[in-house]
Chain A
Amino acid sequence: MFQALGVHGPVLTPLASALLDITLVSVAFAFFVGGGRTNRMAMGMLATMVVAMAALRVLMQPLPNVQPITVAALLVGAHLGVRRGVAFAILATLLSNLLISHGWWTLFQAAGWSLVAVIGARANLIQNGELRMPRLAVASVVTALLFGFVSTLSLVTSSMTPGAFVVLLGQGWPFDAVHALGNLVFVVWMAPSLHQFLSGLAASETESLAVGEVHGVDA
């Protein structure tokens, strides 16, 4: 339960924590650089976005459950696809948790935001280069609740009954509501700027590939 296992779940041994970190980083970088040719500048810009979102999350840590990474993950997924979205989610989680608080729950938060990125990639948030704000707003609310469910899974123990888990889940609903409201704020305030940034990022990758193809044809 909440008090039984600590705030966030079981305490990991140093070895287990290291293994978890290595696994997450490996998966993130595999997704980051995989899937065809990658533009170094694009990678650099995406890495910058990881750092920026992680920093913003740390800055907003005093505000309970206000999570800028959720909307960012949706947009990264929408613009750059599932792999880059998942990579972004994992790296932003790892980096911010190193400063906030790192442990067993990091795995679930990373999984939750990765799921958000997948939803962003599949939700058709961009049409004809335009960001569909209403759809993004709805997605941000839904993913807030979904993230809450996934992160609550980190508190599950072998002795926990389904009823107790439901109670635990229910206790988090006010915080999930704040998460959803925060996402709406980020959608209104940040989404257009992020869309513009990520559109340029996506475009630069496409141009590089196009140039590469031309050279290949020349060759």
Chain B
Amino acid sequence: MRRSAVLCALLLASFLMPTGAAEWTANWSADIGPGYITTSPVVDEERVYVRTSGFWTGTERPEVMAFSHEGALEWTYRSETTTQHDMAPLLLKNAGAGSCGSWPDLLLVGWANGDFSALHPENGTLAWNVNTHLEGWGVTGAPLLDGDHVVVATRNGMVRLCLADGEVDFSVNLTLGWRNGVTYANDRYWTGSETGHLWSVDAAGTAVEAVNLTGQLRHAPVVLEQRLLLHVQHATSSTIQAYNLTSGTLIDVLASGGSPAIPLLVGDTVVFGDNDGLTSVRCDSTCRVVDRLPGKVNGEMTSTSDTEFFAPVNAPGEGWIVAEVNASGGFAVNASFSTPHDGFGTSAPASIDGWLFLGSDAGVLMAYATTSAPVEAFSPEGQNGFHLLGMVVLALALGGSAWLAQGGRFTSAWRLFSLTLLCVALVLLPDVSQTWSSTLVDDDAPVSVEWNDAWPDAWLGTQVVVFELPEGEVAVGGMVGHATVWSLTQEAAQMHDFSLNTEETSLGLYLLSINGTEGSGWEYFLNGERGALAVNDAIIESTVVVRWSLA
């Protein structure tokens, strides 16, 4: 009896023990409406600014919103013309003056329709706006502040704009880019492309050289010790490369996982993320890998101190990895940060003066504070209470079994115990099944297998869906931001007003018909490989071709 009681007590304690220390306390949250948060919020002394992303139909449109640190919505700015997923990072610029004029405080926003806007942070009104090239996509990468100018990587090149009024200082055509940020080094601006080029542009706006990379570059190069650190993306993998600015040589540092994140400079260490996890690199005479941490990091990372950084885990409900880079460049601390609204995540938090602001694909902006800030009633929607009730019921059931057994009523004890075990198994089954299925299936087939040269270049590096209907093949491309086959298929179908009929089964969602065509069933292929998971469980990469065929 005592042993049973001790066992039950330990079991209960293990469930109720806090999972990791938390120096941040939840303060407030705000549902930002339609869309999701795919890029980090930015913050100044007064406000936090966040943008929504999505594919917009009907009357809904993406917005940039400003909240006070305490959670009051102060203004929203709505783009009436952009419809694609907006992902360019926001950028704040303090008021100043330069050779091309003076400017107030500005919030700089790049849009997927090619617009580049400067807003007044205090009220969200438009200071100026510049249209850049649109080819399926517009501005998708991080701009660069350069004195009294801002340098923006456009869809097909680069522009430099005066902060005072947006006047174009230069505009140069390069090759197609996507998520192509800009870096300044050795008196040149550097940006990547989808065509495997690392472009350098001089101050006059002349393209000086193009370094041939082995894949796509979708981030601003990171400068370290006279080198540009690059995380080059391939179909299902990536390569960390270092371009020597002095000698002009390009070397491979490490072959790594697919879907690289935007690298982060932490002191003398560059942190890279991808489907394999985190990698730290340092450079002296050569660039070398210092440490690795397994995981799945595909988006933006951000530093919250000189050594600590947050990295979003791009898996449902996984939150963020919180790690520190130690003196030798290794990862010293490994913890996780989780919120009640964890979904797929590619954005990093913003922090200032004891505040931490973050969002994810769940479309909720959350604010955390250190202990000095007042804590309002956080609304976890009853989740914490439900979990606690479940743990209490479980403990009572197990305790009851032990008590019955102690009283010699073994049949009743076994009945209660087995029923409890079955209930727990049923609760855990969806997550266990999904995780187990994902480990069994390798869906990293090369996207090049399915690419059709007749498709527009604007679809390069995006998510494409092909419907093989009886009346003909319909291809939809240029989509981004979708994490599952189902989500992507829904958007693709919506673009052509195709109806989708589904059935919920114990193994997940099953697609019965597309545009009224049922046949003997539909099957899907990811980059040429037959899919093995339910459509709502099948995770897809940022570059993928999903093909729907009648069985």
- Chain A residues near B (Cβ < 8 Å): 1-7, 10-11, 63-66, 164, 167-168, 170-171, 173-175, 177-178, 181-182, 184-185, 188-189
Contact = CB atoms under 8 A, between A and B. Distances in A.
B436 A174 contact: yes
A1 B437 CA distance: 13
B418 interface: yes
A175 B521 CA distance: 23
B511 A3 contact: yes
Given A66-B422, A185-B419, A3 B531 contact: yes
B535 A175 contact: no
B17 interface: no
B288 interface: no
A2 B534 contact: yes
B436 A1 contact: no
A37 B409 CA distance: 42
Given A3-B521, A64-B426, A173 B411 contact: no
B247 interface: no
B69 to A, nearest CB: 45
23 contacts: A1-B532, A3-B511, A3-B524, A3-B531, A3-B535, A4-B522, A4-B523, A5-B520, A5-B523, A5-B551, A6-B510, A6-B551, A7-B507, A11-B520, A11-B521, A168-B532, A171-B507, A174-B429, A178-B422, A178-B429, A181-B422, A181-B425, A182-B422
Contact of B440 (A3, A11, A170): A170
A5 B418 contact: no
Given A1-B531, A7-B507, A185 B422 contact: yes
Contact of A5 (B440, B521, B532): B521
Interface of B: 411, 414-415, 418-419, 421-422, 425-426, 429, 432-433, 436-437, 440-441, 503, 505-507, 510-511, 520-524, 530-535, 551
A175 B520 CA distance: 26
A64 B506 contact: yes
A3 B534 contact: yes
Nearest to A187: B418
Contacts of B510: 2-3, 6-7
Nearest to B442: A167
B33 to A, nearest CB: 33
B420 to A, nearest CB: 10
Contacts of B551: 4-6
Contacts of A171: 433, 436-437, 440, 507, 532-533
B415 A188 contact: yes
Contacts of B440: 167, 170-171
Interface of A is mostly: helix
B503 A178 contact: no
A84 B307 CA distance: 73
A188 B412 CA distance: 9
Contacts of A66: 422, 426
Contact of A178 (B414, B425, B441, B523): B425
Contacts of A2: 507, 510, 532-534
B415 A189 contact: yes
A79 to B, nearest CB: 21
Report which residue of A66, A164, A181, A189 has the largest number of chain B beta carbons within 10 angstroms of its beta carbon: A181
A131 to B, nearest CB: 12
Contacts of B533: 2, 171
B238 to A, nearest CB: 26
Contact of B429 (A1, A3, A167, A175): A175
A167 B441 CA distance: 7
Given A168-B532, A171-B532, A175-B506, 16 more contacts: A2-B507, A2-B532, A3-B523, A3-B524, A3-B531, A4-B523, A7-B507, A63-B426, A66-B426, A170-B436, A178-B425, A181-B421, A181-B425, A182-B422, A184-B421, A185-B415
B488 to A, nearest CB: 14
Contact of A181 (B411, B414, B418): B418
A188 B414 contact: yes
Contacts of B419: 185, 189
Contacts of A173: 436
B415 to A, nearest CB: 5
Contact of B426 (A1, A3, A6, A178): A178
Contacts of A7: 503, 505, 507, 510
Contacts of A178: 422, 425-426, 429
A119 B520 CA distance: 35
B506 A185 contact: no
A184 B425 CA distance: 13
A59 B433 CA distance: 23
Contacts of A174: 429, 432-433, 436
A167 B530 CA distance: 12
A188 B440 CA distance: 34
A6 B520 CA distance: 8
A167 B419 CA distance: 30
A2 B533 CA distance: 7
A11 B518 CA distance: 11
A63 B423 CA distance: 10
A181 B441 CA distance: 26
Contacts of A164: 530, 532
A186 to B, nearest CB: 9
A178 B551 CA distance: 30
A3 B520 CA distance: 11
Interface centre among A173, A174, A189 (most CB of B within 10 A): A174
A56 B351 CA distance: 56
A61 B275 CA distance: 38
Contacts of A185: 415, 418-419, 421-422
A168 B437 CA distance: 9
Contacts of B522: 3-4
A189 B506 CA distance: 25
Contacts of A170: 436, 440
A11 B503 CA distance: 15
